[in-house]
């Protein structure tokens, strides 16, 4: 297993914003477990000398000046070429002993994204923020419901990626919703996913989470519905059409029964409203059909793009 790791180019990616309390330990821990890897710390406008500490610890320090984790990951994925990418947070919440297994799954088993699953392990015992726990459960249930997945941890920052995933993933999110976007993209494109349970430890004293429970939670939920509309337009618009059709029928049927009994239309407002709702239902349904065709074409183009990337990689034109 380690033979492929030793012969591969591995990049450890650490997005950071004011992590001076923990970054030195994180860099040294991952250098110990993956001495063959390059450790990249991308500083996102820190004001506490995170970059200097990381550099002294042996990391390659780069900068992203647009604030937000999504912006940092976009730049990381564009800048760095490797055979395997391991992404972790700089807050020392993810133990390094799982790193080699995660990297091996990418290199030996052709997994496109390995998910470090905190929620099946110690997360609920270690994390003291009740709304974070509730949010993680809600996000997991929504993503698995909408995208027919069985992912146990959507928002974990501990992941390993193949080059195919990294170079084909269109990063649209700017902030902490990036992990949700990654998972949904992988499910929609039928990429090879693997989850492994990893222990989680809460931040040490003096280290403060940058995630706002309510603002970032709203952004994550909004991202799920936005991507549901983009990736599953037939289901999204079809559901709206169904509700409009049901309400239109509920308003129209009593008026129609009254007409059959008396020969008079006694509920004109109900008939008018039901007519508008019926037209709206038809429009939403047709919109879903048209956009579903476009979404299928995008998936076909994605498969062709991935096949082309693999051919180029196999030909040796890109020497990672």
* pLDDT average, residue stretch 222-244: 95
- 272: tokens are 């008018």
- CA–CA separation, 216 and 154 (whole Å): 14
- CA–CA separation, 225 and 235 (whole Å): 12
Question: How does pLDDT run across 265-319, given as a tens digit for each residue?
Answer: 778 888 899 999 999 999 999 999 999 999 999 999 988 888 888 887 777 655 5
* pLDDT average, residue stretch 22-33: 96
Check residue 54 and give its pLDDT: 97
- 312: tokens are 């180029």
Question: How does pLDDT run across 151-192, given as a tens digit for each residue?
Answer: 999 999 999 999 999 999 999 889 889 999 999 999 999 999
Q: Does the pLDDT at position 70 exceed 50?
A: yes
Q: Which stretch of DSSP H or E encloses residue 116?
A: strand 113-117
In this predicted structure, which of 10-14, 94-98, 166-170, 314-318 has the lowest mean pLDDT? 314-318
Give the whole-number percent of the chain exceeding pLDDT 90. 70
Per-position b or e across 18-54, b if 16+ CB within 10 A of its CB: bbbbbbbebbebbbeebeebebbbbbbebeeebbebb
Burial group, residue 208, by CB count within 10 angstroms (0-12, 13-18, 19+): exposed
- 231: tokens are 């990736």
- 186: tokens are 């992988």
Cβ–Cβ under 8 Å, residues 43 and 27: no
């Amino acid at each position: 297993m380690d033979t492929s790791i030793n012969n591969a180019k591995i990049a450890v990616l650490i997005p950071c914003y004011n992590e001076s309390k923990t970054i030195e330990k994180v860099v040294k821990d991952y250098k110990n477990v993956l001495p063959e890897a390059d450790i990249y710390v991308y500083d996102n406008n820190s004001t506490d000398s995170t970059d200097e500490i990381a550099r002294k610890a042996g990391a390659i320090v780069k900068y992203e000046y647009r604030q937000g984790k999504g912006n940092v990951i976009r730049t990381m994925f564009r800048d760095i070429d490797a055979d395997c990418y391991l992404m972790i947070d700089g807050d020392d919440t993810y133990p390094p002993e799982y790193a080699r297994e995660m990297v091996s799954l990418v290199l030996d088993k052709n997994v496109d994204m390995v998910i470090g699953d905190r929620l099946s392990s110690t997360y609920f015992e270690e994390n003291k923020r009740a709304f974070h726990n509730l949010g993680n459960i809600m996000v997991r249930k929504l993503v698995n419901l909408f995208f027919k997945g069985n992912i146990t941890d959507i928002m974990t920052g501990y992941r390993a990626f193949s080059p195919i995933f990294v170079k084909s993933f269109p990063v649209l999110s700017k902030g902490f919703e990036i992990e949700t976007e990654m998972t949904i993209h992988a499910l929609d494109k039928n990429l090879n996913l693997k989850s492994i349970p990893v222990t989680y430890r809460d931040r040490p004293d003096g280290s403060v989470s940058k995630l706002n429970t309510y603002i970032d939670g709203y952004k994550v939920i909004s991202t799920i519905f936005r991507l549901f509309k983009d990736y599953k337009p037939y289901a999204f618009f079809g559901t709206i059409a169904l509700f409009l059709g049901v309400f239109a029928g509920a308003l129209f049927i009593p008026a129609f029964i009254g007409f059959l009994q008396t020969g008079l239309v006694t509920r004109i407002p109900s008939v008018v409203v039901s007519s508008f709702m019926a037209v709206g239902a038809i429009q939403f349904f047709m919109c879903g059909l048209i956009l579903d065709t476009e979404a299928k074409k995008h998936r076909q183009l994605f498969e062709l793009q991935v096949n082309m990337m693999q051919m180029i990689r196999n030909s040796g034109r890109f020497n990672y």
